[in-house]
């Protein structure tokens, strides 16, 4: 299934996408959080310096998946692949 999903629209926590000739629509949830990572350590003072940045993770709500056509794959497989694609872009 990898590479078969084409995302048409992703806005207002709704994603519209297609697999071959079948159209889908699903709701997503986005979680944003602050992530700090150690970037350097000073052995003389035992001080660790951190670099922080915002992380965003998208979750696909499988219970909201709508299919306009024939469903060739399991809902779990479709949602997992879409979630991977959405998080890969972040």
Domain boundaries, the chain: 5-84
Distances (CA, A) of 48 to 34, 87, 90: 18, 29, 27
pLDDT band at 1; cut points 50, 70, 90: confident
* pTM more than 0.85: no
CA 6: distance to chain centroid? 14
Residue 17: Cβ-neighbour burial (10 angstroms; 0-12, 13-18, 19+): buried
Q: Nearest 5°: CA angle at 68, between 65 and 72? A: 75
pLDDT at 43: 77
pLDDT digits (tens, 9 = 90+) for 39-86: 888 878 888 889 999 999 999 999 999 999 989 899 999 999 999 999
pLDDT at 90: 63
pLDDT score of 33 more than 80:
yes
């Amino acid at each position: 299934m990898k590479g078969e999903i084409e995302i048409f629209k992703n806005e207002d926590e709704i994603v519209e996408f297609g697999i071959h000739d079948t159209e889908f629509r699903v709701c997503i949830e986005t979680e944003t959080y602050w992530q700090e990572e150690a970037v350097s350590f000073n052995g003389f003072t035992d001080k660790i310096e951190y670099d922080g940045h915002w992380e965003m993770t998208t979750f696909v709500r499988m219970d909201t998946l709508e299919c306009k056509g024939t469903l060739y794959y399991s809902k779990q497989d479709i949602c997992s692949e879409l979630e991977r694609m959405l998080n890969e872009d972040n």
